[in-house]
Chains A and B, each alone.
Chain A
């Protein structure tokens, strides 16, 4: 083995790590970063030199060393070397081997990489250990290479307690055996003794094998095998556990629920009912494929899917989030006969980045590290695939500290005639893409349970590092294969691996799979591991035998692995073999229809929070600045600019508009020769959910619709997705909140005519610390996708010129419960914003005005109400504005449910009027020449608030005509940009 170290002339990476170390409260003189390549195989010194010089080193800016120790000049130099754990994907390996073969050197058998950090300062071992553990590596996927050559090179076992111990000194040449050492594979068919055991043993079987099955399910399985008069094999049990996991079958959403003493229909039925009752012709495929599909142009449809990847991101933020976006991209690639991914969307919920390190629960990573890792993971994966990330949101709350929420979404473009699949017995099951390893074993059962301090140890196999270039190759080739008609059905290998992919796609006919045919990353996997591995970047297609040669030829022309692993049958059985020996046989019907659903109990009681009682401040300027600087409202430019949102050349409305102000939704032109655009936006507000999940759902739908309509989408052609991240559904109250939210979804989506086309729920987002369970707040994300017929008519939120008129559209109510005005003062309140079903008319008339070309800028009112919306429009356009609140259309809230004190009254306070977060409101800019046309065209509630001007200020007059707010635009923008600028 040869060791090549490559170092840059300057030290940009080291400087940035030095800054991160300072964040930990440790000051060091210098950090240097060295890339280490370990080359294995029979190669000569001369060849290594050639590899180092012509491939590994950029001669202009880098230097290299072969098999040389770093000089330890003084006692202050500390060396930490980090390598990937055995079995973890090292994405550089394949590229490096290719590069070496191109040099004409064929004897290199494997390449491993590591990073060496040279830290100079007199810091203690404890401090060094802290730096390594907090910043340099994550034991879930990496380990510290031991410095002593004589020690066996056993990487940190994930099961070991505490972090690996650091040792001073230099790793010597030849000892870094980071090659996966897997036991030689041998065949041993394992039966699980299930037939004659009692309840206690059944539960123990589930627990010991990490199956995540409950007693009812275990008994149902026992019964099935009793009828067959035999015990199950391990692979059969694993297949059932995977198919029946919450993650795959969504038991909670399909179960009968008793809510408030009455039986209600399953939650999934309630959501689907919206779509079937609305019965809109633009919905092509809903709730049955990997993604929802709606109509777009004459030739194309679009599909949309949003997924969660919360638990993997909690343990390994970079890999977890990267594989999250990689997974959802495969969802659209697996929709219909395969859609081309054209846009990503990402919504994250983290703990506060300034969270006190000592308060951190055991086993959790600091929110700042989670945030940086998640953003980097999505960035590296999305950017490398060449898919613009153009929409998203980032929220912060203390309850996300132990359990962040990571939503990744993808939009795909698919020809109209490629939206249907055909399942034909006799077709071949072909596996495309990456090799299979021990990655992600038990990912779905892990995702379906709660996190504990031990999760990191037990579930390390569930977390992976992705290889985006493999996925890019898969996309490039599959789109060609699709257009040539080389396969008849497709799905992704996601949660549950082959078990889920083949099991589900072949459920209507049956299949036989030869597991030994699956290409492996390394030897030693058992047949069962092969079947349930969640190794990334793999797809399953069903290929007619006469098309096989053409398909294999196409794949090999772009160096993409493709392997026949089985065949579709018509016996409705799933049959698994390993080297011709039968290892599993299950009835598809039992597998897919057999899961016993429990009746669940839910209850909900409206909580009552302390109602704030404070006098009205006379100057609201400091409050506006405070809201603009709150983490949920402030600029997310730090995140946005790390994503390529321009690639594919279709961007029309970007995530930041004008002078880097916030956009409402993104507009993209996916077909460069057409003016048709897609519009993507989202709505999310967990703060409302604490008060009432019903209105949180209504508000999220309203917000998502507001965002897409504000930039020009036609409200009659908007489809939505629901993504629930929730606590434990076995807890009556948690489930009660979920029921309320689903009922709110039904009400609002029905009223606004926005069908649900796809969705996903992620439950058990709880974190246990000792005996205490912390649940995340109810977090519902609504994602909206709309269409604009001519992208040249899209509207951005930045003000366009001085001297124009400013209007408000929609009524303001006394609705500050959960508002940011209350939040920055430490209150919650109770009057959460509601939605009014007749407001669908507001969306329609605004859209008419946009289509008629009467609107120059438009921004919706959300967190921070009128105040924040106007401020953002000013600094995005770098144009001043003066408005008065006296004309703001108002109404009293209707008395619904239990009477409350302030209901039935209009707002008499300027602060509440300015910062109320009532739904369905927009601020628009209209030129004077269009005033009459605009006023004539608008129906319902709207009013002129003021004008844009040549000044550099936002000025707001109150109900009595006095100044209540006056601020320089620059000052507003600084307040908004400051908080996340220096992360």
Chain B
């Protein structure tokens, strides 16, 4: 039976993790539309809004900035209505940078930007697998996950904000994912991913769509590996399956 639960994967110049993100969403049962921003008129037909990784507009000026502005000026009302109707939003890597610059994270609304992702302390692009720990039960995307591994691949992944904002995030349980044992980029409080107060908007630097087969793990041939990245997408579809509107 064809799924009725629809995902929008947004792409534009420089998006480059769209194909594997679409694949992961389809694998768990979403009906996926991969849409170029020039063709995107309305978010209404979709249930989850996914901004995948990449280098939108070359990361020129600052990573995710130009796409964030474009969304803000063209689709502000659409996004507001989408979020208010209880639907889901996830931004992965460059997508997280976009959500932060939109202000959608951590506040849940398009608003003044309060957090950002800036240059890694190493000053370099880094591609490696990292250990992560789920530290909040607030986010619907990370239900059932505790400690697991995912790859990161970014040059601007250091989560920073004013101490007051960090404190708020801590108090409100919005810090969903932390780097565990090793902090690859110098993020404050080891932050790898946060959600909005409702737990329905999630942004993370690591790539869950890159761990949907065991063979993607660097040590798959020496130890049994559960592809736990997939669980993040499963949680998303389960959210809709359990909700009364979708049955």
Contacts and interface: CB of A to CB of B under 8 A. Distances in A.
A681 to B, nearest CB: 17
A643 B127 contact: yes
Contacts of A647: 16-17, 20, 53, 153, 210
Interface stretch (A540-548, A605-613, A684-692, A790-798): A790-798
Interface in B146-201: 151, 153, 160-162
A10 B123 CA distance: 12
A60 B153 contact: no
A467 B58 CA distance: 8
A701 to B, nearest CB: 27
Nearest to B221: A796
17 contacts: A13-B119, A55-B65, A59-B113, A61-B116, A62-B62, A95-B66, A383-B55, A384-B14, A469-B57, A476-B13, A558-B36, A641-B127, A642-B127, A646-B153, A647-B53, A672-B23, A791-B215
A305 interface: no
Interface in A1-46: 8, 10, 12-13, 15-16
Interface string A533-567: 00000000000000000000000011100000000
A657 B220 CA distance: 10
A54 interface: yes
Interface string B73-113: 11000000000000000000000000001000000000011
A92 B218 contact: no
A658 B219 contact: yes
A331 B16 CA distance: 20
Q: Which of B13, B19, B153, B161 lies at the interface centre, i.e. has the most chain A CB atoms within 10 A of its CB?
A: B13
Contacts of B121: 12
B73 A102 contact: yes
Interface stretch (A231-239, A648-656, A767-775): A648-656
B36 to A, nearest CB: 6
A104 B73 CA distance: 9
Contacts of A92: 58, 60-61
Contact of B221 (A10, A385, A646, A800): A800
Contacts of B112: 59
A832 B11 CA distance: 53
B235 interface: no
B243 interface: no
Sorted nearest first, the 6 A-B pairs with minimum C-beta distance are: A386-B16, A649-B20, A95-B60, A60-B116, A469-B58, A16-B123
Nearest to A104: B73
Contacts of B116: 58, 60-61
Contacts of A98: 57, 66
B64 to A, nearest CB: 10
Chain B interface: which size bin? 35 or more
A159 B209 CA distance: 51
B221 A60 contact: no
B69 interface: yes
Counting chain B CB atoms within 10 Å of each CB, the highest count among A8, A648, A656 belongs to A648
B207 to A, nearest CB: 7
B179 to A, nearest CB: 16
- In this complex, which of B11, B73, B124, B221 has the most chain A Cβ atoms within 10 angstroms of its Cβ? B221
A65 interface: no
Contacts of A648: 17, 19-20
B126 interface: yes
* Residue of A467, A557, A558 with highest tally of chain B CB at under 10 A: A558
Contacts of A594: none
Interface of A: 8, 10, 12-13, 15-16, 54-56, 58-62, 91-92, 95-96, 98-99, 102-104, 379, 383-386, 467-469, 472-473, 476, 557-559, 640-649, 651-652, 654, 656-658, 669, 672-673, 791-792, 794-796, 798, 800-801, 856, 877
Given A91-B58, A559-B13, A645 B161 contact: no
Q: Is the interface of A mostly helix, strand, loop or mixed?
A: mixed
Contact of A473 (B13, B113, B160): B13
Q: In this complex, which of A558, A669, A672, A791 has the most chain B Cβ atoms within 10 angstroms of its Cβ?
A: A672
Given A92-B61, A96-B60, A658-B222, A644 B125 contact: yes
Nearest to B165: A60
A99 B65 contact: yes
A58 B222 contact: no
Contacts of B128: 641
Contact of B69 (A12, A55, A877): A55
Given A557-B36, A651-B216, A658-B219, A60 B161 contact: yes
B70 A469 contact: no
A13 B113 CA distance: 23
A558 B126 CA distance: 30
Contacts of A467: 58
Interface of B: 11, 13-17, 19-20, 23-24, 36, 38-39, 53-55, 57-62, 65-66, 69-70, 73-74, 101, 112-116, 118-121, 123-128, 151, 153, 160-162, 207, 209-210, 212-213, 215-216, 218-219, 221-222
A58 B65 contact: yes
A649 B126 contact: no
A54 B11 CA distance: 22
Given A60-B161, A643-B127, A792-B215, A55 B119 contact: no
A652 B14 contact: no
Contacts of B13: 469, 472-473, 476, 558-559
Nearest to A60: B116
A468 B58 contact: yes
Contacts of B55: 383-384, 386, 468-469
Contacts of A60: 113-116, 160-162
A849 B62 CA distance: 51
A710 to B, nearest CB: 13
B38 A95 contact: no
B14 A558 contact: no
Contact of B118 (A58, A95, A672): A58
A5 B81 CA distance: 37
A798 B222 contact: yes
Given A12-B123, A58-B118, A472-B13, 17 more contacts: A12-B120, A58-B65, A60-B115, A103-B73, A383-B153, A386-B54, A476-B11, A640-B127, A646-B151, A646-B153, A647-B53, A657-B218, A658-B219, A672-B20, A795-B221, A798-B222, A877-B222
A95 B11 CA distance: 16
B11 to A, nearest CB: 8
B246 to A, nearest CB: 26
Nearest to A642: B125
A646 B11 CA distance: 19
Nearest to A92: B60
A102 B69 contact: yes
Contact of A557 (B20, B38, B118): B38
A856 B222 CA distance: 9
Contacts of B162: 60
B189 to A, nearest CB: 15
Nearest to A375: B124
Contacts of B59: 384
A552 to B, nearest CB: 15
Nearest to B215: A652
Most buried by A among B14, B17, B55, B127: B127
A348 B59 CA distance: 27
A318 to B, nearest CB: 14
B127 A649 contact: no
Contacts of A795: 221
Nearest to B153: A644
A128 B189 CA distance: 39
B127 A644 contact: yes
A55 B65 CA distance: 7
Given A95-B61, A98-B66, A672-B23, A800 B222 contact: yes
Contact of A472 (B16, B62, B74, B119): B16
A796 B207 CA distance: 23
A559 B38 contact: yes
A469 B14 contact: yes
B62 A58 contact: yes
